[in-house]
Amino acid sequence: MKRAALVLLWVLGSAGAAAALTADEQMRFADGIYLRGFYETAVTEYLALLRDHPDSAHAPAALYRTGECYRQMGNPTGAERFYKQLVAQHPQSEPVPRAELRRAELALAADRPEEAAAILNGLLGSEPAPDVAAAASYYLGYSRLKAGDEKGASAAYERMLAEHPRSPYAAYAALDLAALHAQAKGNAAQMEAWFEQALAAAATPAAKAEVLFRWGDWAYRQERYAPAADLLQQLLVEFPDGRRARDARLATAWSLYYLDRAAEALALAEKLEQDAADAETASSGVYLQANCLRKMNRDGEALAKYETVARDYPATPFAERAAYEIMVTRFKRGEHEQALVAAPAQPDAGHAADVLWMRAESERELGRLDAARGRYEALARDFPKSPQAAPALLRLGEMARTAGRLDEAATWFRRAAEDYPKNDAVAEAWKAAALARLRAGDAKGALADWDALLALKLDAETAAEARLQKALTLIELKKTKDALATLEEVARGAQAARAHFWRGVLLADGEKWAAAEQALRASLAAAPDPQTAALARLRLAVVLQRLDRMDEAADQIDPLLDQADLVADNPALVEWAVRRRFDQGQYERTARAAEALARNAREPSWRQIGWHWAGASQAQLGNDKAATAFYEKAVAEKAQTREGAESQLLLAGLDLQAGRAASAAERYAAAAEAAAGDDALDLRARAYFGLGESAEALGQAEKAARHFLSVAVLFDDPEWTPHSLFRAGRLYDGLGKKSERAGAWKELRERYPDSGFAKQVEAQSP
């Protein structure tokens, strides 16, 4: 090798000796230098040949290669001069087509596409060799493309593919065609065909890599992630170190991500971060890792990756996206304070409305209602086309409704319905507006809102509910006739039970008892919801009372006893049923109703009444222990009812019978205090009598006699007064107070001469 180099240098240094070479030798010598890449020296030798042998058969080739040397040396002007000289002096020579092709390439490089096209059209008209024709056809299409003639370019490329499908240029023509038509719709099959042809024609690894990249990238942008992943992964496997492999990593990873192959995408995203040459590429890899981790339900790790992007790569396009994802993650986890901290300061246009929505929702959840309201208003005002605009208006309505600003709430709800008539919540908005106006006392406005709702295309259930609410609004407006007509219409559909119930209410209010009964029974027969069934039974019980069918009325109350709120709301009706059952001797049913009243009534007086009757019914059933427990519950209530006094009296009597006279005295005193009303004089008389009995049992004869006399003085009770006078006289007799005894028994004979106690006294007289 050293010897050959020395020989070459000697030859080059002896240029004067070249004159002695023949034309063939000179040409071989110049070609040898040309092939070794010594273009400047080769030019000298080719020019020497042209000078010394101008008529040589080698002259055309020498002119062409001189042009090639200048082209290789970066001197397009020199190159073009010799290409033109060749064409001018040897127009029929073999190198001419290639020289013309080079001229066209130089014109394209100099941004003279029209000149290039003219040269190429002339060249193709001369029917050059297939390889030159294929290249010329491709460059003709390229020149048209550079000139802005996409239609002409497309036609030229298609002709080239048709005429030279196996040429290496076919790959580039097919790729250029695909690029030209990439934005067209409905041409996926043609795009696939061009890419397949390009791949088949790719003659070099670089060309194949380019085809795989462009095909995969197109599929990715078309959201055809399966073929995109296959093509781009093939590129990564076959050409892992190539430029296009580096370019393809991100799209490959995202394709795998969208195909739910998160683990593969994660691995590729990690490699993308590790090999990144710049911050933007690194941030894209970390951001994609976060998305993959989130898809794999590794939310904590995902959140950390998003935070890495936002913190370490703040100047990249992914920083805002990461901040947005951090906010979304915090928001979905209910971490509203952290969501507000994470919110992007300047979200991009695509996220701005969502960020404002999450800010508003978080502020609301944190109780910062004024701030939330301001953000909802800003969202509705600044982003009226956002999917969140209508929900923002609805939120404003809900907040106003909660705050009791019903007119304002109705305004927001109506705005949501009117401004967004195609929103899924439009029916709910009209309904909320109507209900808010009704609660605000604007029944007329509510009626208009119900009509607006009914003007929509509604499903049968929603329409029936709206008509029912319209009927209730008509009732509020005292338009009974219209309300009944609307209810009759509703009664033919899914809301039949409720419609019949309200018909029954209206008919009962009009004292049309028989018609009301029929409507209420129709409601119960229509499989109503539990609340409607309960209300219908209550109303039916009242109607049946009006019709003097008391047993049937009581029967309607029994099924309601397990419904605490209903019992609490209707204690008087339940008490009526209790007394009815007790009077009929139905003590088990009495006990059930009485306990329901006692356990669920809101006021202590009703609870006391319930416990008393529960005790009374258990006593009748022979369950003395249970009866006593219920009486105790009755007297424990902080109330003052006749039933409470009765329970206290019964407990006092039990104490007295058991020998607990002191306890009995306390209970009788409490009973006397409880029996304070004029309707309870008989109970007070019984209580004072009991005090006498308790004192007598305790051996307090004087005190006992006094209590017995108090009954006689204070009450004219046919049962307890004569008995008290008799007992007082007997006690005085035992105390040796003959005159007091005589006075008590004299009063007994005068006031109650027909009583059994008067007759006993008469029998004892001498």
Counted residue by residue, the chain has a size of 766
pLDDT of residue 608: 95
- Work out the pLDDT band at 92, boundaries 50, 70, 90: very high
DSSP 755: S
628-644: string of b/e by CB count within 10 Å (b at 16+)?
bebbebbbebebbbbbb
pLDDT of residue 506: 94
Whether residue 458 contacts residue 484, with contact meaning beta carbons closer than 8 Å, is answered with no
Average pLDDT over residues 554-582: 94
Dihedral over alpha carbons 52, 55, 61, 67 (to 10 degrees): 60
Q: Element (H or E) spanning 623, and its range?
A: none
pLDDT of residue 679: 85
Tell me the CA distances in angstroms from 132 to 60, 62, 205, one per residue in order: 17, 19, 22
* Residue 95: closest CA among 70, 127, 63: 63
C-alpha angle 652/654/658, rounded to 5°? 115
Three-state SS for 129-168 is: CHHHHHHHHHHHHHHHHHCCCHHHHHHHHHHHHHHCCCCH
Given a cut of 90, whether residue 16 has pLDDT beyond it is no
Whole-angstrom Cα distance, residue 182 to residue 644?
92
Dihedral over alpha carbons 282, 283, 284, 290 (to 10 degrees): 120
Given a cut of 50, whether residue 621 has pLDDT beyond it is yes
* Residue 202: closest CA among 193, 191, 211, 194: 211
- Work out the pLDDT band at 1, boundaries 50, 70, 90: very low
CB-side exposure of 85: number of CA atoms within 13 Å?
19
Tell me the CA distances in angstroms from 209 to 23, 214, 254, 446, one per residue in order: 45, 9, 19, 69
User: Tens digit of pLDDT for each residue in 95-142?
Assistant: 999 999 999 999 999 999 999 999 999 999 999 999 999 999 999 999
Residue type, 648: Q
Whether residue 439 contacts residue 406, with contact meaning beta carbons closer than 8 Å, is answered with yes
Given a cut of 60, whether residue 623 has pLDDT beyond it is yes
Given a cut of 70, whether residue 11 has pLDDT beyond it is no
pLDDT of residue 99: 95
What is the C-alpha radius of gyration for the chain, rounded to an integer number of angstroms?
Answer: 54
Whole-angstrom Cα distance, residue 481 to residue 499?
14
Whole-angstrom Cα distance, residue 132 to residue 94?
11
Given a cut of 50, whether residue 721 has pLDDT beyond it is yes
Whether residue 665 contacts residue 702, with contact meaning beta carbons closer than 8 Å, is answered with no
Dihedral over alpha carbons 313, 316, 257, 265 (to 10 degrees): -50
User: Tens digit of pLDDT for each residue in 524-557?
Assistant: 999 899 999 999 999 999 999 999 999 999 999 9
User: Tens digit of pLDDT for each residue in 199-221?
Assistant: 998 889 999 999 999 999 999 99
Average pLDDT over residues 650-654: 94
Measured in degrees and rounded to the nearest 5, phi and psi for residue 414 equal: -65, -40
User: Tens digit of pLDDT for each residue in 145-196?
Assistant: 999 999 999 999 999 899 999 888 988 999 999 999 988 888 999 999 999 9
Whole-angstrom Cα distance, residue 442 to residue 406?
10
* Residue 664: closest CA among 674, 675, 686, 649: 649
Whether residue 375 contacts residue 356, with contact meaning beta carbons closer than 8 Å, is answered with yes
Three-state SS for 335-356 is: CHHHHHHHCCCCCCHHHHHHHH
User: Tens digit of pLDDT for each residue in 447-469?
Assistant: 999 999 999 998 888 999 999 99
User: Tens digit of pLDDT for each residue in 466-500?
Assistant: 999 999 999 999 999 999 999 999 999 889 999 99
- Work out the pLDDT band at 349, boundaries 50, 70, 90: confident
pLDDT of residue 2: 36
Whether residue 148 contacts residue 129, with contact meaning beta carbons closer than 8 Å, is answered with no
Residue recorded with tokens 């427990």:
629
Whole-angstrom Cα distance, residue 362 to residue 372?
8
- Work out the pLDDT band at 766, boundaries 50, 70, 90: low
Which residues contact residue 214 at a Cβ distance below 8 angstroms, ignoring those fewer than 6 apart?
Answer: 175, 178, 179, 195, 198
Whole-angstrom Cα distance, residue 670 to residue 686?
12
Residue recorded with tokens 């009209």:
430
Residue recorded with tokens 């605490």:
564
Task: Report the chain's mean pLDDT, rounded to a whole number.
Answer: 92
Q: What percent of the chain has pLDDT over 70?
A: 97
Whole-angstrom Cα distance, residue 664 to residue 537?
44
Given a cut of 90, whether residue 428 has pLDDT beyond it is yes
* Residue 545: closest CA among 534, 553, 536, 533: 553
Q: Element (H or E) spanning 184, and its range?
A: none
